Structure 1
Amino acid sequence: MKKGRLLTRSETLKMSNILILYHCESNTGYAISSLERAFWKMGLNLVNSPNNIHLCYPSFSKGMPSYPPEGYNNYFEFSDRETDAGSIAKLAKYIQDNDITILFGFDQPLSLPYYKAARAAGIKAFISYWGAPMSSLNSGVKLLLKKLDASRYRQGPNLYIFESVAMQKSGYLGRGINKNKTAVCYLGVDIDKYRPDNKDRFYAHDLYNLPRENKLFFYSGHFEERKGVRVIAEAANIIAEQRSDVTFLLFGNKRDEAVPYEAVLTEKAKNQVIFGGYRNDLEKIHRSCFAGIIASVGWDSFTMSSIEMQASGLPLLVSDLQGLSETIIDGKSGYLFPPGSVEQLSLKVNDLLASKSQRDTMSDYARKRIVEMFSDEAQVTNLTHLVNKTL
């Protein structure tokens, strides 16, 4: 570099260091694992080298992350909820010693005890990525008070990134954050892993010894009440009375979590509902299925399973809830139905079954939309762009 030449903004970024801070221990799994890979790729886009990326977790008791390259060792153990001054001072020293200027944190609220020390140590750009709603929505005087409260915090994030518009509203219409400090970055999916593939057309049928003419409806996720597994089970009761060529495949149950939902099923429906537990071959099972279902009755947003299913070519029947409604184009890549309505879910199932050509048109549209807008590459590009804007 010639003496006296000013660095371009791009060159300045490539000389920066970023700390990616997690609120959960390493190797937590679930949807966080895909986010970890996305954040890592974003970091590489921003600072060019793994040596300039630093990873912070509250605990490494489950082992070191597997996504960095061999030999990588820029790890720091710290809980974002830490209040001990000595521990916070150690974090600040790590930031200062490693010339870290960018902090990208998971679910970081308006204020935590470590913020002031991190800023003083050299953090210039602080981004908080939210995978959950921040607050219920407010209005009137209550929202005004929330905005006044939010304006008090000067050391916190410069930008809050949310996974859906509904989540974003929980920030500026719920918690009172300035809307200009919020943004949306939808989740992304590996479109090569989750894809239609005719060779797996009967993969699930053969796995579960089902007649190949059976139409399979797929769900995967937690088995807590708000996820609507009970709604699917009760809809299965209705469908089982009408036809025997439909099977519901429900995945994600562990231990005895399926028991309350098995108890809901009629004798006929018990033969048409399979609780499959946890599996590592769901992308192959998708390819055998006719459609996907997400029947949540409580808060739910733009879920990873929703784009995985659609990337695999499954039309989606989804509760008309918050961010969930953003996952499809109603009537084109699936159908919305009122949360908790067993009757409406049953009708939508029958609507899909009534016309295979309509179902196939929806399948093609769903796949195309995911490829164009919700690939993992698009997610990383959007994240990089949003962080760049804060620098």
Structure 2
Amino acid sequence: MAQSILVMFHCNQHTGYAIGSLEKAFKQAAIQAGFEEGNILWSYRKVFSSEENVFSINYFCPRDTVKLKEVLKAHDVGTILAFDLPHPSPIIRTARKMGVSNVVAYWGASMSSIYKGLKLFIRRCQWILQAGAAPDFFIFESDAMLRTATHGRGIPSRRTRVIPLGVDTNIFFPAAEERYAQKIFSIPINRKIIIYSGHMEERKGIRVLMNAMLELERRQRLEPVHLLICGNKDQQSNIYEDMLINSQAKKHVTFAGYRTDVPQLMRSAYLGTIASTGWDSFTMSSVEMLSSGLPLIVSELQGLKETIENGVCGFYIAPGDYHALASLWLKYIDDIELREQHAKAARKRAEKLYSIDAQVTRIAQTLASKPISPNEIYRDRKLEEY
């Protein structure tokens, strides 16, 4: 019987958002790496719909290692691809005992703070002691994330890969004079739509967007602008809408909720903004905006700033600087030629660096890579920079 691959997530089944895109990419990568579709298994913390080859396994529940053993044995699993898999981990120890030859951890967030000197040396020593319970390879979406592994957890750089998120450029593409969002939300056609798409945690900077809209009102420049925010669920938007009470800006902001028509909405937009105030990864929405031909304004934070080339397809702002954000919005609105230049550069950057095909191929190559023996002596000159 051909060996199987188990793709593991620490979140619940049907989470959506970026997880949905990763599920598709992981499946394509597994097939490209040589696994038959029927031999691709999936696990989640909670499973809501009973499906073949889908299992409920919680990374952080020791009792679930029994379930894992059963799955690995019954399906002859030779490879595990796990999202945000910590190390050391009982999952990995169990996998090794059951004969799994290759464990790849895909990280969508930072692993640690950055250390130097003695603190970094201690973490390298910890890696040596715990290497038997660590993945063979770690995939990160940005250089900033990778550095938290090599200079935060002491992981050898040869165990790491940077594979940026990929976007389907055939789904997210520019379209001149698209009016979809204007029709759906009754937005006046004379307004330029600025779009945000993503989660609604405080660190994602929705408060900064609200303050920028209020700043435009103070400058008496609200009229040409409409802010479209996608991703809110339940009552998540309430605290931000309350910021706009008794302001004219309230009429220029739409909270669209969780959407399945994001490609059409982005084609209706004039530019994109991600104004995060805390750590932010290499976000899927950022590459979707670029692929849609939207100039992109982002906070100058860790992996997020890697998505654009500053001054070429967008601009950086300091985290929380809503004054600068409002000014950049107006800069694009007042300078149509600049907007068009950056729009073309954004699309070109997405096609060159962030296509789904490139992402899938790189993940497939990692899945097919020869595992590194955990007993190898740890030497890595690239980490000796402190």
Q: Judge same fold: TM > 0.5, yes or no.
A: yes
SS at match of 1:390: coil
* Cα offset, 1:91, TM superposition: 2.5
SS at match of 1:126: strand
Residues 1:52 and 2:39 aligned together: yes
- Deviation by residue 1:105-153 (Cα, 9 ceiling, x = unmatched): 1111121223223112111111111111111222222222222112211
* Structure 1 range deviating more: 364-373 or 17-26: 17-26
Aligned to 1:261: 240
Aligned to 1:83: 62
Residues 1:194 and 2:172 aligned together: yes
Q: 2:27 aligns with which of 29, 37, 40?
A: 40
Q: Is the 8 A contact 1:159 1:390 kept in 2?
A: no
Residues 1:185 and 2:163 aligned together: yes
Residue identity in the other structure for 1:161: I
Q: 2:225 aligns with which of 235, 241, 246?
A: 246
Which 5+ residue runs of structure 1 have no aligned equivalent? 1-13, 66-72
Distance 1:194 1:17, change over 3 A: same
Aligned to 2:327: 347
Q: Structure 1: how far apart are the matches of 2:330 and 2:56? A: 52
Q: Structure 2: how far apart are the matches of 1:271 and 1:52? A: 52
* Cα offset, 1:58, TM superposition: 3.1
Q: Structure 1: how far apart are the matches of 2:6 and 2:175? A: 39
Aligned to 1:133: 110
% same residue: 37
Residues 1:24 and 2:11 aligned together: yes
Q: Structure 2: how far apart are the matches of 1:25 and 1:262? A: 29
Q: Is the 8 A contact 1:53 1:74 kept in 2?
A: yes
Aligned to 1:4: none
Q: Structure 1: how far apart are the matches of 2:277 and 2:66? A: 44
TM-score after normalising by structure 1: 0.89
SS at match of 1:129: strand
Which 5+ residue runs of structure 2 have no aligned equivalent? 372-386
Aligned to 1:174: 152
Q: Structure 2: how far apart are the matches of 1:242 and 1:171? A: 47
Residues 1:152 and 2:132 aligned together: no
Aligned to 2:188: 211
Residue identity in the other structure for 1:246: V
Aligned to 1:11: none
Q: Is the 8 A contact 1:82 1:113 kept in 2?
A: no
Q: Is the 8 A contact 1:27 1:63 kept in 2?
A: no
Aligned to 1:69: none
Residues 1:279 and 2:279 aligned together: no
Residue identity in the other structure for 1:254: K
Q: Structure 2: how far apart are the matches of 1:260 and 1:54? A: 41
Residue identity in the other structure for 2:7: I
SS at match of 2:352: helix
* Structure 1 range deviating more: 121-130 or 41-50: 41-50
Q: Structure 1: how far apart are the matches of 2:215 and 2:54? A: 53
RMSD of Structure 2 on Structure 1 (CA): 1.9
Distance 1:171 1:268, change over 3 A: same
Residue identity in the other structure for 1:137: I
Q: 2:49 aligns with which of 51, 56, 63?
A: 63
Q: Is the 8 A contact 2:266 2:292 kept in 1?
A: yes
Q: Structure 2: how far apart are the matches of 1:212 and 1:26? A: 39
Q: Structure 2: how far apart are the matches of 1:281 and 1:163? A: 25
Residues 1:220 and 2:206 aligned together: no
Q: Structure 1: how far apart are the matches of 2:53 and 2:251? A: 52
* Cα offset, 1:375, TM superposition: 1.4
Aligned to 2:280: 300
Residue identity in the other structure for 2:227: F
Q: Is the 8 A contact 2:191 2:226 kept in 1?
A: yes
* Cα offset, 1:77, TM superposition: 3.1
- Deviation by residue 1:6-55 (Cα, 9 ceiling, x = unmatched): xxxxxxxx954222122122212121011011111111111241133222
The higher relative CO (CA closer than 8 Å, separation ≥ 6) is in 2
* Structure 1 range deviating more: 154-163 or 47-56: 47-56
Aligned to 1:335: 315
Q: Structure 1: how far apart are the matches of 2:333 and 2:280? A: 26
* Cα offset, 1:90, TM superposition: 4.7
Aligned to 1:124: 101
Q: Is the 8 A contact 2:12 2:44 kept in 1?
A: yes
SS at match of 2:129: coil
* Cα offset, 1:97, TM superposition: 3.9
